[in-house]
Structure 1
Amino acid sequence: MRKKKWLQTSLAVITAATFILAGCSNNEPKGSNTETGRTNGEVSTDPVSYDYFAFGTNKDVIASNTTIGKILQEQTGVDWKMEYVVGDASTKSGVMIAGGDYPDVISPVSELSKLTDAGAFIPLNDLIEKYAPNIKRVYGDYMDKITNEDGNIYILPFTANVNGYLKEPDATSTFWMQRRVLKEFGYPEVKTLDQYFDLIEQYQAKYPSVDGKGTIGFLTFAGTAGEFFTITNQPMHLAGYPNDGNVMVDMKTQEAKLYMGTDYEKRWLAALNEMNRKSLLDPETFTANKDQYLAKLTSGRVLGYVNYSWQIGDATNNLKAAGNDDLRYVALPIVFDENTTDAYIDPPSFVNNRGLGITVSAEDPIRIIKYWDNLLSEENQKLIQWGEKDVTYSVNEEGRFVMSKEQLANRNDNEFKRKYGWAYFDYEWPRYGNNSLYEDGNAHLPTSQPEVAEVNYTDGDLALLKAYGLKTFSDFYAEPVERPWYPAWSIEKEQGSPEQIFNQKAGDLQQKYYPKMVFSSEADFESIWNDYLAEFNKLKPADFEQFITSKVKERIAGNW
């Protein structure tokens, strides 16, 4: 059984042994044998720049060219050259490993196990113990969840909730509908997939074009391997399960079952097939790149689409900035059947395999860990989310943080967010989790602050909420149910393990067969599905399910 424990009494012994062994390795951190950057026992604030690397869609930037980055540089002397790579993360990480040369810090996302196995990251235990009181404060309740089986901590995740749990007032699902469609039909209740697609079909029949351009009934993004889950994940949501990855976990038995190969998946693909045969599905579903996809979303032509909100933030902000509420979208709790309770709102959770690590190429891990610790002060957590008092937010007489409409416009403006630094510092760094509160009771996320959420609503938002008799967009959804293992997708599948190989082969199979089934004739759909099912069963899915079930039960027992 995998054991991950924060051993308070033996931490120094474990870490010392780790660093002694590291001294005999080619993977020795460049600054590990000296206390570089220190003067008279204190960490230097002399100017220095480090390399930051993440897999994502942000634009590359020098941190000090942003307002937040400059303030943090003034506090610490540290600047960052921030690089983001879009595309095949596996190829990029493979190149790094082959060359043995890494940026100073990496947010590895899905490449964590590969990079860890390659010895890319240094242990953080001793650095945390010596130099990081804020890190110990923020991650104290999660230390057992972030300590690896070898006793070491390699990354600091992004989801450590502090001072309680605050539900976001404007949670979203994955199914979005253009607001003019709902408005046209008197704001009807739309709960099932059939109702959702029927409404799109009716609207397109009445309004086949917008400004001379044909409408697109339904759109989703399946153009790259890295985001193919956008289309494959929907069966579990439609069946009333939250995002546990590629499994659905039974609340009573804690048994994990793949949705791949189930009637739920078949029903979803059959619905897409029918939409395609009715010319209501975007023909470039499997070929458009991300930029082309986002351009369609912001064109006003799309009636409905599927996406997680974090995948399309720029498009959402651009639509809001354009000012036409009818062409914006609202997320709805779509499920297969009327009697199914949706589970779109995440319960309290902790993701332990997404975070930021210091690599063996870093010349001064001490300066870096001190920078992270400084970042985790409550003052700086407010900076990276709210900005500067009386500039980007205000404090009312009750001590509550508020934003004016003008300040909120900046918070929602993509270019301002990049220039100010919100786009770069609000997530892929050691941080408070989204549902955190500050010691003064204010919400960590501005959009979770009720006073801000209310101001953030446009006239169109208020009209839509009033039409449905709701106060916030979260009111569309059922209350989250606590799941001690959640999310199951964060269960580690080590590189080269049977589970990791299964995931790879299963994903390849979906990418091969989904386009065939979606774009097939009605007569051919069944035979293609049977071919897909036969190939899937060769992968021994029961073994994978057994592995995930065992890990789920370990988490329930408190062993992460």
Structure 2
Amino acid sequence: MVKKHFWFGILLLVGVLLLSACQDDTATTDDSSSGSSDEPVTLTFFSSDGVEKEFNDPVAQKITEETGVELELDYPVGGNDEAIPLMIASGDYPDLIFAKGDIGKLIDAGGVIKLDDLIEEKGDNLKAMYGDQLDRLRNSIDDPSIYTVGTYGVNNAYWETSGTFQIQLDVLRELGYPEINTLEDFEAAITEYYEKYPEIDGQKTIPLSLLGSDWRWLITVGNPAGFAAGLEDDGQWAVNDETGEATYKFLLPELKEYFKWLNGLNDKGLLDPESFTHTYDTYISKVSSGRVLSVADQDWDIADADKALVQDGKEERTYAPLPVTLTEDYQSKGLKDYGFAGGWGIAISSTSEHQEKAFEFLDWMASEEAQILTNWGIEGVNYDIVDGKRVMKEEDRQRMNNDADYGKETGVGFYVYPFPQWGTAAVDSNGQSITPDSEQDIIDNFNSAEKEVLAEYDMENWIDWFPPTEELGVSKHGSVANFTIPSDSDLQVIQQKADDLIQQRITEAILAKPASFDSVWDKMLSELKDMDIETANQAMTKMVKDKKELWGTN
């Protein structure tokens, strides 16, 4: 009997030990999945401006090494702008979300968390980065909470601009380096060159090409009209910065004047007839061929085409930005300082199981270490320390300017936007530029044709053509383009209808016979009135005034 109890005791002890071991294994697995072990935590990240990419380049690996975080990158396939509404409908959110202008929808749906307490408790890097600009992250007067961080630099310098139009360097060279300040000057230049060279490399020359078949209608059609009229970049609005009064800009007679000029350009055969039908890929292919004399586009949108031209030895077919306005009575705002924009940014979802880890990751991205890594890459690999200063390796500098895949392959520069960023004017603790994009870097990186043309104009940089930033002052309201308009508000509903209408009607007006232009325009104004655009004007005016009150810039 004693022997039986002995063996029973032994078996019981073994069982307890085995159970204990199993429990230890389970705890280890749980710890690993929660990120408390050496295994990195995977955070899903949806970016409305993302592209197909794995988080596996050298800079990404270094980020993981420093933070214990791997990102699973997601993006809107095919430019799908319904991605955020679909998230809200399903209630299935990634850990991190960059929703751009749809952030208001996520806030209203309870899909993202407030960051105020986290910033106060463990946001030392973010607090240091934003400083007295922290209030610009706040959502609204009615809800002054912070839901997002990142997207735009806090301290920016204005050493580059895309201007109203960009014109091929060879046009400037061939015409003896003319001054081009007005629409009349611009039209004369592209007309003269087109008549001399109706073909380039065996293909028909295109004097001006736009991309009005998708959302870039706003970039290449709507925005240049405002720039030519001397407006600041407030998206679809014209804003009096002092009074806060906002007007839907397409109501202004100055914009009608611009589009009437564009209508005339089309009638004369100077506008690409496919401007409102071709795809982005086709448009970029045309620009890459070197036969498009001018575009009304931003550097970031044609960057791949610009690099392709350089690679093909067609540096003279790359572009210079122009401060073109309707007449000499208007002033280009290409170098306007909007201050830190606030508004849009990266949010942490309410359903994330790793909210604290996600915040710690975003805070680290605001650190000096992270800013140097994401902007410059890895010391000894992408840059060297020479006489105590960071110097980009020549191969990397060349690839950065000429290789469209450089950022995706190396990670250098790829994780700057839309994460927290100090800005192009910021310097590190040693007084060095936090980015490899100082004005001198920009000047040094100009291709040989750019340097030749700049010298002929007795300039060092293209911005020398433009009214200086100091003269234009700092915006008190930032930019309406970055406002978060409450979803389903009268303003949001009316503006969406108005935007859809003007894209249709203005396209129609540009392509109409000149004799029909006024009737198409007048019909559009009548339709805008019928949809109560004045109510939208009043609502946006209130938003601008509220923004100034929230920021203390009244």
**382-391 or 461-470, larger mean C-alpha shift:** 382-391
Answering whether residue 135 of structure 2 is matched by residue 144 of structure 1, we say: yes
Query: Residue in 1 aligned with 2:22?
Result: none
Q: Distance in 2 between matches of 1:257 and 1:49?
A: 45
Query: Residue in 2 aligned with 1:134?
Result: 125
**303-312 or 432-441, larger mean C-alpha shift:** 432-441
Query: Residue in 1 aligned with 2:464?
Result: 475
The residue correspondences of 1:347-358 to structure 2 (distance < 5 A) are 347-358=337-348
The question of whether the paired residues in 1 share the 8 Å contact of 2:152 and 2:417 is answered with: no
Query: Residue in 2 aligned with 1:159?
Result: 152
Q: Distance in 2 between matches of 1:95 and 1:546?
A: 31
- In the TM superposition, what is the alpha-carbon distance from 1:89 to its structure 2 partner? 4.6
Answering whether residue 262 of structure 2 is matched by residue 272 of structure 1, we say: yes
Q: Distance in 1 between matches of 2:436 and 2:413?
A: 14
Q: Distance in 2 between matches of 1:257 and 1:292?
A: 35
Q: Distance in 1 between matches of 2:385 and 2:101?
A: 39
- In the TM superposition, what is the alpha-carbon distance from 1:70 to its structure 2 partner? 0.4
- In the TM superposition, what is the alpha-carbon distance from 1:467 to its structure 2 partner? 0.9
Q: Distance in 2 between matches of 1:449 and 1:479?
A: 14
Query: Residue in 1 aligned with 2:509?
Result: 517
Q: Distance in 1 between matches of 2:251 and 2:74?
A: 39
- In the TM superposition, what is the alpha-carbon distance from 1:113 to its structure 2 partner? 1.0
Q: Distance in 2 between matches of 1:343 and 1:37?
A: 56
Q: Distance in 1 between matches of 2:122 and 2:550?
A: 28
Residue 466 of structure 1, aligned match among 441, 455, 459: 455
**478-487 or 130-139, larger mean C-alpha shift:** 130-139
Answering whether residue 490 of structure 2 is matched by residue 498 of structure 1, we say: yes
Q: Distance in 2 between matches of 1:261 and 1:401?
A: 50
Instruction: Give the alignment's TM-score, normalised by structure 1.
Output: 0.87
Cα 1:101–1:531, aligned 2, differ >3 Å: closer, same or farther? same
Answering whether residue 167 of structure 2 is matched by residue 195 of structure 1, we say: no
Which SS does the other structure have where 1:225 is aligned? coil
Answering whether residue 314 of structure 2 is matched by residue 314 of structure 1, we say: no
Q: Which amino acid aligns with 1:114?
A: K
Q: Distance in 1 between matches of 2:422 and 2:38?
A: 25
Cα 1:78–1:252, aligned 2, differ >3 Å: closer, same or farther? closer
Q: Which amino acid aligns with 1:132?
A: G
Cα 1:104–1:252, aligned 2, differ >3 Å: closer, same or farther? closer
Query: Residue in 2 aligned with 1:81?
Result: 72
Cα distance per residue 1:39-94 (max 9 Å; x no partner): 9x996542222211112362x2221x111100011122211111222555542222
The question of whether the paired residues in 2 share the 8 Å contact of 1:177 and 1:304 is answered with: yes
- In the TM superposition, what is the alpha-carbon distance from 1:524 to its structure 2 partner? 1.4
Cα 1:183–1:339, aligned 2, differ >3 Å: closer, same or farther? same
- In the TM superposition, what is the alpha-carbon distance from 1:319 to its structure 2 partner? 2.7
Residue 378 of structure 2, aligned match among 388, 399, 402: 388
Which SS does the other structure have where 1:218 is aligned? coil
Cα distance per residue 1:368-426 (max 9 Å; x no partner): 111222222101101101112333223342x4433354331122222121111135302
- In the TM superposition, what is the alpha-carbon distance from 1:493 to its structure 2 partner? 1.4
Which SS does the other structure have where 1:50 is aligned? strand
Q: Distance in 2 between matches of 1:227 and 1:512?
A: 10
Residue 410 of structure 1, aligned match among 399, 402, 405: 399
Which SS does the other structure have where 1:81 is aligned? strand
Answering whether residue 208 of structure 2 is matched by residue 218 of structure 1, we say: yes
Query: Residue in 2 aligned with 1:290?
Result: 280
- In the TM superposition, what is the alpha-carbon distance from 1:470 to its structure 2 partner? 0.7
The question of whether the paired residues in 1 share the 8 Å contact of 2:204 and 2:291 is answered with: yes
Residue 363 of structure 1, aligned match among 343, 349, 353: 353
Cα 1:44–1:355, aligned 2, differ >3 Å: closer, same or farther? farther
Residue 489 of structure 1, aligned match among 473, 478, 481: 481
- In the TM superposition, what is the alpha-carbon distance from 1:317 to its structure 2 partner? 2.8
The question of whether the paired residues in 2 share the 8 Å contact of 1:230 and 1:306 is answered with: yes
Query: Residue in 2 aligned with 1:125?
Result: 116
Residue 500 of structure 2, aligned match among 484, 508, 512: 508
Cα 1:362–1:424, aligned 2, differ >3 Å: closer, same or farther? farther
Cα 1:418–1:181, aligned 2, differ >3 Å: closer, same or farther? same
Which SS does the other structure have where 1:170 is aligned? coil
Answering whether residue 251 of structure 2 is matched by residue 258 of structure 1, we say: no
Q: Distance in 1 between matches of 2:349 and 2:181?
A: 47
- In the TM superposition, what is the alpha-carbon distance from 1:471 to its structure 2 partner? 1.3
Query: Residue in 2 aligned with 1:529?
Result: 521
Answering whether residue 447 of structure 2 is matched by residue 455 of structure 1, we say: no
Cα 1:131–1:42, aligned 2, differ >3 Å: closer, same or farther? farther
User: Considering only CA atoms, is the larger Rg found in Structure 1 or Structure 2?
Assistant: 2
Extract unaligned runs of 5+ from structure 1. 1-35
Query: Residue in 1 aligned with 2:4?
Result: none
Residue 552 of structure 1, aligned match among 524, 544, 549: 544
The residue correspondences of 1:231-246 to structure 2 (distance < 5 A) are 231-246=221-236
Query: Residue in 2 aligned with 1:346?
Result: 336
Which SS does the other structure have where 1:233 is aligned? helix
Q: Which amino acid aligns with 2:201?
A: D
Cα distance per residue 1:235-271 (max 9 Å; x no partner): 2211112201122223554432332122222112111
Higher helix share: 2
- In the TM superposition, what is the alpha-carbon distance from 1:153 to its structure 2 partner? 1.9
Q: Distance in 2 between matches of 1:37 and 1:152?
A: 33
Q: Which amino acid aligns with 2:109?
A: A
Q: Distance in 2 between matches of 1:386 and 1:296?
A: 32
Cα distance per residue 1:158-182 (max 9 Å; x no partner): 2242xxx452333331410011111
- In the TM superposition, what is the alpha-carbon distance from 1:151 to its structure 2 partner? 4.6
Cα distance per residue 1:292-319 (max 9 Å; x no partner): 2111111111011111223233223333
Cα distance per residue 1:444-480 (max 9 Å; x no partner): 3312252x22421222121111111111122121112
Query: Residue in 2 aligned with 1:373?
Result: 363
Q: Which amino acid aligns with 1:272?
A: L
The question of whether the paired residues in 2 share the 8 Å contact of 1:158 and 1:432 is answered with: no
Q: CA RMSD in A?
A: 2.3
Q: Distance in 1 between matches of 2:168 and 2:89?
A: 47
Query: Residue in 1 aligned with 2:42?
Result: 49
The question of whether the paired residues in 2 share the 8 Å contact of 1:139 and 1:160 is answered with: no
Cα 1:353–1:312, aligned 2, differ >3 Å: closer, same or farther? farther
The residue correspondences of 1:318-337 to structure 2 (distance < 5 A) are 318-337=308-327
Which SS does the other structure have where 2:406 is aligned? helix
Query: Residue in 1 aligned with 2:16?
Result: none
Which SS does the other structure have where 1:486 is aligned? coil
Cα 1:504–1:445, aligned 2, differ >3 Å: closer, same or farther? same
